[in-house]
Amino acid sequence: MKDLGLPSKRAMVYQDIPDEKWNDWRWQLSHRLNTVEDFEKVFPLTESEKQALLSDHLFRVDITPYFASLINPEDPNDPVRRQVVPTAAEIVPFTGMMEDSLAEDMHSPVPGLVHRYPDRVLMLVTTQCASYCRYCTRGRIVGDPSATFSREEFEQQIAYLKATPQVRDVLLSGGDPLVLAPTLLEELLTRLRGIPHIEVIRIGSRVPVFMPMRVTEELTSMLRQFHPLWMNIHVNHPNEISAELAEACDKLSDAGIPLGNQSVLLRGVNDCVNIQRSLVQSLVRIRVRPYYLYQCDLVEGAGHFRTPIAKGIEIIEGLRGHTSGFAVPTYVVDAPGGGGKIPVMPNYMISASDHKVILRNYEGFITTYEEPIQYEPHDASQCNYCKERAIEPGQSGVLGLLEGEHMAIKPEGFDRVHFRGGAQHRLRENTNKWKPLGIGDTEDEK
Ligand SMILES: *Cc1c(COP(=O)(O)O)cnc(C)c1O
């Protein structure tokens, strides 16, 4: 691969550590920083950081020596430091804060499985990570060594997956699946691959970023047995893209694992159009495709990281058109209360009339698209995919409105509020007054 001239750093205190130790992920794990004394050997702490580290009620702190070495010791606002070193701001509650902001627990059929979407599940396989992000969305379970998932829970998860054939995509997360003991991870993947309807397995991991030395030949040759296997890593700032991360990503890509990146929009870390453009461009150079940019969740300890949603829209405005299309992530708000991910973006459609649509591009160029006057719609009755692979009626959502399956989606209690007796109301004469025409029906066939 092209030499990218990426930095490789090691903080002063680690200069004398022999390479074979530094490059051993077990050494990295067992030398993580978590106390005031540990940190003060690497960089001087601020009062706010000390106060946070000495507080009892803090989400777990642990940082690998490798990741701590990416921090500029002289800058208290360093973007890598702000992601992993706590400050007193974490202890401050804010309006809208919730413990389980995404209502994941409500969507758990068995412990550690989140089944939110029709065809895919999130499987929480461990509560441990290589280092802990201060804005962790799963701070309620992650980091607690006593809350590790048991074998019994794992068997329950497998049993649920076996019995649920609509699941074709399993996303391993946690915690971080790549901190599991290698034999345990291999067993887990083997068991999942043994379920015929599971087509795709995904791993969400920040290990390549926190501890790239974990990505060994041994690991990639184990992982490549389980294709199709996809992976999303988690990089928020260009300073995290080191020679070591590039090498780890190269090994994963060479093992045939497509890599994506999920980042979180964080105040004081990456809430800047130019940082984000540099980030996505650096990611595609190491063959990682930007996948999602998340709005920061309403989670305890993360209040000081939040930005207005408008900042995310501005960032997408600064990416789309200005750089390679495949480098532009989808900006999403993970709906508080459990609605799942909702994409948010600038408006590109300015106006419309019958068969004319007015669009604007990233430069502000405004154009007209003439739509066909005669459009012969897709004939569902002749289409095998429509016959065999249509979305189940109960789960069609807004698509169901378009397809005429139902006319409206109503908030809970809507009918109770609006039913006023209405004996004389014309809509009451015939409850079938509104009938879907059906896609493709023409007036005279009605
Ligand atoms: C994010 C997420 C997924 C995967 O969503 P994709 O849009 O397919 O990447 C699945 N389940 C849950 C609960 C999630 O939060």
pLDDT digits over 47-66, tens only?
Answer: 999 999 999 878 999 999 99
| pLDDT grade for 435, boundaries at 50, 70 and 90 | low
**Residues with catalytic roles:** 116-117, 120, 129, 133, 136, 138, 297, 334, 341
Which atom, in ligand 1's list, is nearest to the CA of 334? 15
Q: What is the pLDDT of residue 139?
A: 87
Give the least confident one: 108-122, 176-190, 327-341, 386-400.
Answer: 386-400
Q: What is the pLDDT of residue 437?
A: 53
Whether residue 409 has pLDDT greater than 80: yes
Which atom, in ligand 1's list, is nearest to the CA of 104? 13
Tens digits of residue pLDDT in 180-202? 999 999 999 999 999 999 999 99
| pLDDT grade for 99, boundaries at 50, 70 and 90 | confident
Alpha carbon distances (Å) from 380 to 220, 326, 388: 44, 32, 11
Whether residue 431 has pLDDT greater than 80: no
User: What is the residue-averaged pLDDT of the chain?
Assistant: 92
Q: What is the pLDDT of residue 420?
A: 78
Tens digits of residue pLDDT in 117-157? 999 999 999 999 999 999 999 988 898 877 777 889 999 99
Q: What is the pLDDT of residue 403?
A: 87
Give yes or no for residue 226 CB within 6 A of ligand 1: no
Counting beta carbons within 10 angstroms of the beta carbon of residue 14, is it exposed (0 to 12), middle (13 to 18) or buried (19 or more)? middle
| Over residues 271-287, mean pLDDT | 98
Q: What is the pLDDT of residue 427?
A: 52
Residue nearest to atom 7 of ligand 1 (CA): 341
Whether residue 421 has pLDDT greater than 50: yes
CA 405 from centroid of its chain's CA atoms: 31
Whether residue 446 has pLDDT greater than 50: no
For residue 122, report the distance from its CA to the centre of ligand 1, in Å. 7
> Which is it for the CA torsion 51, 55, 59, 60, positive or negative?
positive
- For residues 381 and 377, what is the distance between their CA atoms, to the nearest angstrom? 11
Strand stretches in 295-361, DSSP E: 330-335, 340-343, 349-353, 356-360
Q: What is the pLDDT of residue 46?
A: 98
Q: What is the pLDDT of residue 106?
A: 86
Residue nearest to atom 14 of ligand 1 (CA): 122
Q: What is the pLDDT of residue 335?
A: 92
| Over residues 98-116, mean pLDDT | 90
| Over residues 77-83, mean pLDDT | 98
Give yes or no for residue 362 CB within 6 A of ligand 1: no
Q: What is the pLDDT of residue 58?
A: 84
Give yes or no for residue 123 CB within 6 A of ligand 1: no
| Over residues 104-129, mean pLDDT | 94
Residue nearest to atom 15 of ligand 1 (CA): 340
Which atom, in ligand 1's list, is nearest to the CA of 122? 11
Tokens 């005669």 found at = 374
**Structure tokens belonging to residue 199:** 């087509």
For residue 205, report the distance from its CA to the centre of ligand 1, in Å. 14
Q: What is the pLDDT of residue 36?
A: 97
For residue 166, report the distance from its CA to the centre of ligand 1, in Å. 15
DSSP annotation of 56 reads S
Give yes or no for residue 171 CB within 6 A of ligand 1: yes
Q: What is the pLDDT of residue 440?
A: 47
Q: What is the pLDDT of residue 101?
A: 84
Tokens 């109770």 found at = 416
Q: What is the pLDDT of residue 423?
A: 56
Q: What is the pLDDT of residue 2?
A: 75
| Over residues 87-108, mean pLDDT | 88
| Over residues 225-240, mean pLDDT | 98
Residue-range domains of the chain with CATH? 12-89 (no CATH), 105-343 (3.20.20.70)
Give the least confident one: 268-282, 326-340, 404-418.
Answer: 404-418
Closest CA to 108 of 73, 140, 144: 140
Tens digits of residue pLDDT in 300-321? 899 999 999 999 999 999 999 9
Give yes or no for residue 117 CB within 6 A of ligand 1: yes
| Over residues 4-12, mean pLDDT | 94
| pLDDT grade for 425, boundaries at 50, 70 and 90 | low
114 has which bridge partners?
Answer: 122
Higher-confidence position of 414 and 325: 325
Whether 331 contacts 315, CB under 8 Å? yes
Neighbours of 1 (CB within 10 A): 11
Whether residue 445 has pLDDT greater than 90: no
Residue nearest to atom 1 of ligand 1 (CA): 341
Give percent above pLDDT 90 in the chain: 80
Whether 234 contacts 206, CB under 8 Å? yes
Q: What is the pLDDT of residue 136?
A: 95
Which atom, in ligand 1's list, is nearest to the CA of 116? 13
From 102, 259, 341, give the residue whose CB has the most ligand 1 atoms within 8 Å, as the site to mutate: 341
